[in-house]
Chain A
Amino acid sequence: MSSALEKLKARSLYFISPIGLLIVWQGLLMAGFGDRRFLPAPTDIVASFIDITLTGELKDHVSATLWRVFAGFFIGTLPAICIGMMMAMFRPVRIFFDPLISMLFPIPKIALMPLLALAFGFGDASKIALVAIGVFFPVVVNTFTGAANIEKIYWDVAKNYGASSWIVFSRIVLFGSLPMIFAGLRIGIAVAFIVLIAAEFVATKLGIGFLIWNSWNLLQVDMMFAGIVTIGLLGLVFSLILDGLERLCIPWKSR
């Protein structure tokens, strides 16, 4: 009984800060502080959000962005997981990739956009490539860390019980590094949005990034905020999806 009450208390605390912020924001503007043309009130943002949802404009932008995120995420994640695990299993692979990753990881990936536009044109391909590159690095580093930190005893058991390299890879390294892989995926999805929205500012006529940048050019500030809110909501949805996937993929983890 008291624990349920405590839980409810904790839950409500969770919502106090965002709702409080919205109330203060709305209140200040309604009291006459600030100019609603430049800083729209939450209600104005909701109104234009509903507006572009009904016209179908938002749907087009969101689906363009989502397609690029999905495709890029997939293309970047798969080799990252494979290479990360190979680096942990085989020393030469680690020695080969280590300097490359250390050198390329800190480069802001958005700096590659002109290069990618040159290579893949201004269509979806260049943005998908950018997302893939952005996602690759945090996932490969996390996967390697997870796989390299698998306890020594499991390698010993595998060797003593006659496991081939393939079994070590598919039954031990893969599962042993899953928790860290998921940590990498979380960072990866955030990086995907960061680089993609920035790329959509300049090199496209479709996507949430374009919506934000175009609204800014037209001084439709409420519309700009609607785009920003959309990204936040998508981030929340992706986080929930990853939570569910993690539960499904790591049933042995005690929660």
Chain B
Amino acid sequence: MLEIKDLHASVEGKEILKGINLVVKPGEVHAIMGPNGAGKSTLASVVAGKDEFEVTQGSVVLEGEDLADDAPEERAHKGVFLSFQYPVEIPGVTVTNFMKTAINESRKARGQEDMPANEMLKMIKEKAELLEIDRKFLSRSLNEGFSGGEKKRNEIFQMAMLEPKVAILDETDSGLDIDALRIVAGGVNKLRSKDNAVVVITHYQRLLDYIVPDFVHVLYDGKIVKSGDASLALELEEKGYDWIKQEMAL
């Protein structure tokens, strides 16, 4: 489904990703862990198409199609979704209006008509319930004055609405208390299917108790230095990243 091949990316001449290889198949959950500054968020941004980063080598391929020339919105239309570590506040645009605009823009790109208003409302209601989001919340300005937990819940709500093929969750667990974490993870699990895939970026094992990964990768200094199954995350939690460094003789 998603294939990242020898991906190198830099910002302002500084290389951050130094040859990443990752194959994500439909139905799978991959976790990417690693210390601060390893390049985890950069990887997420590059896949989503942020033009601040320059891809110097390698490729990101979705369902056999190279995304190199695609703008962020085109990647979204093709099924890439990024849950932001720091969702941006947009005063004056309500969550509902934002969602309507996003969905209809995607439909337009696919040559479909706008979603009928009643269908849209029904879908918003359903997905909001999935994430235990209050109706009043939907008429608030996007992310403005939201708590950390509300922001992350709102990200997963957007994921639910947009129904992506590949969702990258960038530190969706940061800033969440245990109840919010349970709701967010529960939402993600309900959205999983044999046709989509999830890439979870996190520092901690905690989230992976709820969203159980099929594969765990350790990203260090711009490269994936170790991959394994869910037990690797437990081992990392126990031994810390120094263990990897020593093992890899880095």
A binds B: no
